[in-house]
Amino acid sequence: ETGVTQTPRHLVMGMTNKKSLKCEQHLGHNAMYWYKQSAKKPLELMFVYSLEERVENNSVPSRFSPECPNSSHLFLHLHTLQPEDSALYLCASSQDEMRGADTQYFGPGTRLTVL
């Protein structure tokens, strides 16, 4: 595998289910990100981890819970979601050597549908 991978690519869940999204980066980067992309809003940053520590929690509801066990893996745990949480969830990573000028590399996303 190369770049940033995400699993599953598609997920349908009920409002009472618990599920997890997985992201893995094969680039040796030290920062990872979760973004939400919905039809009517710009891309929204949800969480940022740098060296496995969370540095941003962008006012995200507690029904979304991130986990970064090491610099290569990032999870997003989901529980009791709402239909408005249906969106494309994108993971990204970056090396963060250039103080804001680094390129973020994105995975293909997980298309989440909440029924």
Partner 1 sequence: AQSVTQLGSHVSVSEGALVLLRCNYSSSVPPYLFWYVQYPNQGLQLLLKYTSAATLVKGINGFEAEFKKSETSFHLTKPSAHMSDAAEYFCAVSVPLGGAQKLVFGQGTRLTINP
Minimum CB distance to partner 1 smaller for 16 or for 101: 101
Please give the sequence-ordered ranges of beta strands (E in DSSP) within 1-115, or none if there are none: 4-7, 10-13, 18-25, 31-37, 44-50, 53-57, 64-70, 73-79, 87-94, 105-106, 110-114
Q: Closest by alpha carbon to 43, among 104, 113, 115, 114?
A: 104
- Rounded to a whole number of angstroms, the minimum distance from the CB of residue 24 to partner 1 is 13
Tokens of 40: 């009517």
- Rounded to a whole number of angstroms, the minimum distance from the CB of residue 105 to partner 1 is 8
- Rounded to a whole number of angstroms, the minimum distance from the CB of residue 27 to partner 1 is 13
Minimum CB distance to partner 1 smaller for 1 or for 16: 1
- Rounded to a whole number of angstroms, the minimum distance from the CB of residue 16 to partner 1 is 28
Minimum CB distance to partner 1 smaller for 69 or for 98: 98
Tokens of 48: 């940022």
Q: In the complex, which residues of this chain contact partner 1 (CB under 8 A)?
A: 4, 30-31, 33, 42-43, 45, 48-51, 55-56, 90, 92, 94, 96, 98-109
